[in-house]
Amino acid sequence: MSDRTGTIIVLSGPSGVGKSTLVGRVREAMPELQFSISCTTRAPRTGERNGVHYYFLSHEEFGRRVERGEFVEHAQVFANRYGTLKSEVLGRIRGGSSVILDIDVQGAMQIRRAAETDPELKRSTVFVFIGPPSVETLEKRLRGRATDSEEQITLRLENARRELSFWRNYDYLVINGDLETAAAEMTGLFRSFALRTAALPEDLFDA
């Protein structure tokens, strides 16, 4: 069914929950899944290319796009700004591709608010939260990295508890206890999105 639209998958989860590893497993099974390309005002790092890793914008251009309402979400992170263009995600799903937005809770809630006044965005977006089996398990994972100071671990745990409190604002919850089980559950979930009635043309059964 070539005129089926894609799905915008807004994906969130606290640091240490294993989100990147889990998404990597899902994309092995579903290589057709795409990632959205974010905009940023920071300078490109070595090897980064405009339109591939990020869209690199000046602070002035970023501000103009905010004023024109072109972002579905945007945030200030230290001295720079980051955001996701509405055209970036809607353009992909109109072509039938599903796109993942790996984003924090703040950005996800911005997108949910934006969807309230944008029918296409509301019809096309699902919100998926990845959680740990428990906060204690998450703390063990963070400490097991052996790369962060005690102060950094404490800060990450505080942020994690804050983000975990938002899980009911999402449509789906995947618990990443066992990686293989969670990957299978999430792959099945993502595949089911193509069966949503909102993704199908209204005249599907018209004579």
Mind listing the pLDDT tens digit for each residue in 11-22? 999 988 999 999
Task: Kindly state the percentage of the chain with pLDDT values over 90.
Answer: 81
- Residue 202 within any structural domain of the chain: no
pLDDT at 94: 94
- Residue 204 within any structural domain of the chain: no
- Residue 17 within any structural domain of the chain: yes
- Residue 206 within any structural domain of the chain: no
> Which residue shows structure tokens 């969807």?
115
Domain region containing 150: 8-196
pLDDT over threshold 90, residue 67: yes
Model confidence, pTM: 0.88
Q: What is the mean pLDDT of residues 120-137?
A: 95
- Residue 1 within any structural domain of the chain: no
- Residue 56 within any structural domain of the chain: yes
pLDDT at 205: 87
**Alpha carbon distance 121, 70 (integer Å):** 13
Q: Into how many domains does the chain fold?
A: 1
Q: What is the mean pLDDT of residues 179-193?
A: 97
pLDDT over threshold 70, residue 160: yes
- Residue 96 within any structural domain of the chain: yes
pLDDT over threshold 80, residue 2: no
- Read off the pLDDT band of 198 (50, 70, 90): confident
SS3 33: coil
Q: What is the mean pLDDT of residues 63-85?
A: 94
Task: Kindly state the percentage of the chain with pLDDT values over 70.
Answer: 99
pLDDT at 1: 42
Distances (CA, A) of 118 to 64, 69, 111, 131, 195: 20, 12, 10, 28, 22
> Angle at which helices 135-144 and 150-164 pack, to 10 degrees?
150
- Residue 201 within any structural domain of the chain: no
Strand segments (E) across 51-163: 55-56, 71-77, 80-85, 99-102, 125-131
Residues 111/101, Cβ–Cβ less than 8 Å: yes
Q: Residue 172's domain is classified under what CATH number? A: 3.40.50.300
Q: Per the structure block, which two tokens stand in for 106?
A: 């703040």
Mean pLDDT of the chain: 93
- Read off the pLDDT band of 109 (50, 70, 90): very high
pLDDT at 207: 62
